[in-house]
Amino acid sequence: MESQNPDQRINLLADIAEMYFLEGKNQAEIAKKVGMTRSNVSRLLKEARESGIIEIQINRPVSENPELAQQMVERFNLIAARIVEVDRSNQLLDKLGGVAADELVRNLMPGQILGTAWGTGISATVEHLEPTTAIPSLKVIQLLGALGAHIRDYDAHAIVRRLEDKLDAEGIYFNAPFFVEDETMANLFLETKSLNEPLNMAKRADVALLGVGSLDIDHCSYYLAGYLSDDEVYALQDAGAVGDVCAVFFDGNGNLVEHELKKRMIGISAQDLLDIPIRIAAAGGPAKVDPILGALRAKLINVLVTDSATAASVLKREKTE
């Protein structure tokens, strides 16, 4: 066995793994079949796991909290809320993304326009869409200009391409950056025909897939993607902003925050966003409590997917303020 070439070794490991995991044979039966000791079979199964030949995936059913969801719907007049039970913080985005993907598909109809932005919650949602989830005649369009970020979660064009593939949709792109040097340049972009047409289509979106951004420096997408400096993030904080949805900034009470930086961003307006009938957002975790509460008070989202700890904190803070 030790004189085997690498290909023979890999095939042996794969054979033993298949007999154990797919055929249901125990180690003694495998040992007899391949002519080795049971301890050698055990050692080879361990080697197969460590080398990546065996990959173990546990698909634990997602638990939801319908009572907490109903409280969120009633308190904030939402169309729907999906509240997920999450045991470990490293599972948060994955669990939220899976439930948000299900909620997104429930709300999509043939011939509709789906508008989207970018961010970790959106990316996790797209990741969980089944490749066979085709929505006939669906169009997917950016609601914001492109960041051009090297980080996959913040790449607006990549998000649209992934949605095209998963939903068999037609992608419509903004050929403009998200953030420009000044208001004059932003207005020039907005007046060009090549941008004006997709922007008008974005305003007609039936469903929006959104994130809830935090302006905490450690969790701010604009800062992490390298588009805003720490001083610019602090300037938004000083203006009262706690978060944003689709680059619409708001304070903790849900009041919209206008700032010079906003005038340099290219995308749909707050009113355009509010005019989209279904606005789905997936977000959770301690850093998102204030941004989610502000977004709900501002009515910028009306379908929320979050975790139970975050939902409970949002409701508690709403009652005490």
The pLDDT of residue 150: 58
- 144: its two tokens: 């914001």
- Supply the pLDDT for residue 267: 86
**Least confident window among 2-16, 67-81, 92-106, 295-309:** 2-16
Arithmetic mean of pLDDT, 46-60: 77
Fold of 6-51: Arc Repressor Mutant, subunit A (1.10.10)
Alpha carbons within 13 A on the beta-carbon side of 228? 25
Q: Which of residues 154 and 79 earns the better pLDDT score?
A: 79
Rounded CA separation 22/32 (Å): 17
- 181 backbone dihedrals φ, ψ, rounded to 5°: -70, -40
pLDDT value at residue 270: 94
Residue 220 has pLDDT above 60, yes or no: yes
Instruction: Reply yes or no on whether the pLDDT at 282 is more than 70.
Output: yes
- Per-residue pLDDT tens over the stretch 83-138: 999 887 778 999 999 999 999 999 999 999 999 988 889 999 999 998 767 888 99
Write down the pLDDT at residue 253: 95
Highest mean pLDDT among 185-189, 214-218, 280-284: 280-284
When the pLDDT of each residue in the chain is averaged and rounded to a whole number, the result is 88
Q: Which residues pair with 249 in a beta bridge?
A: 244
Tell me the C-alpha distance between 141 and 118, whole Å. Answer: 11
Mean pLDDT computed over 133-158:
79
17: phi then psi, degrees, rounded to nearest 5: -65, -45
Look-up of token digits 């299900």: 102
Query: Whole-model pTM?
Result: 0.80
Residue 61 has a pLDDT of 65
pLDDT score recorded for residue 60: 59
For the chain, where do the domains classified as CATH 1.10.10.60 start and end? Answer: 6-51
As its CATH architecture, domain 66-320 has: 3-Layer(aba) Sandwich (3.40)
Q: What 3-state DSSP class applies to 149?
A: coil
Q: Is the pLDDT of residue 59 over 80?
A: no
If you average pLDDT over residues 170-187, what whole number do you get? 83
* Average pLDDT, integer, range 155-181: 86
Closest CA to 56 of 45, 65, 44, 69: 45
- pLDDT score, position 291: 97
Q: Give which of 239, 261, 270 is closest to 182, Cα–Cα.
A: 261
Distance CA 315, CA 76 (A): 10
Whether residue 58 is predicted with pLDDT greater than 60 in this model: the reply is no
Outline which parts of the chain fall under CATH 3.40.50.1360: 66-320
Contacts of 2 (CB under 8 A, 6+ apart): none
CA angle (303, 61, 71) in 5-degree steps? 35
Q: What is the pLDDT of residue 3?
A: 54
Query: CA torsion sign, 184 to 269 to 251 to 126?
Result: negative
Confidence of residue 43 (pLDDT cuts 50, 70, 90): confident
Task: Say yes or no to pLDDT of 227 above 70.
Answer: yes
Model confidence at 57, pLDDT cuts 50, 70, 90, reads low
Q: If you compute the radius of gyration of the chain from its CA atoms, what whole number of angstroms results? A: 24
| pLDDT value at 255 more than 60 | yes
pLDDT tens string 284-306: 999 999 999 999 999 999 999 99
Q: And the tokens for 298?
A: 């501002």
Q: Among candidates 250, 228, 230, which has minimal Cα distance to 239?
A: 250
Distance in angstroms (rounded) separating the CA atoms of residues 245 and 124: 17
Question: Rounded to an integer, what distance in angstroms lies between the CA atom of residue 290 and that of residue 215?
Answer: 10
Res 205 pLDDT > 70: yes
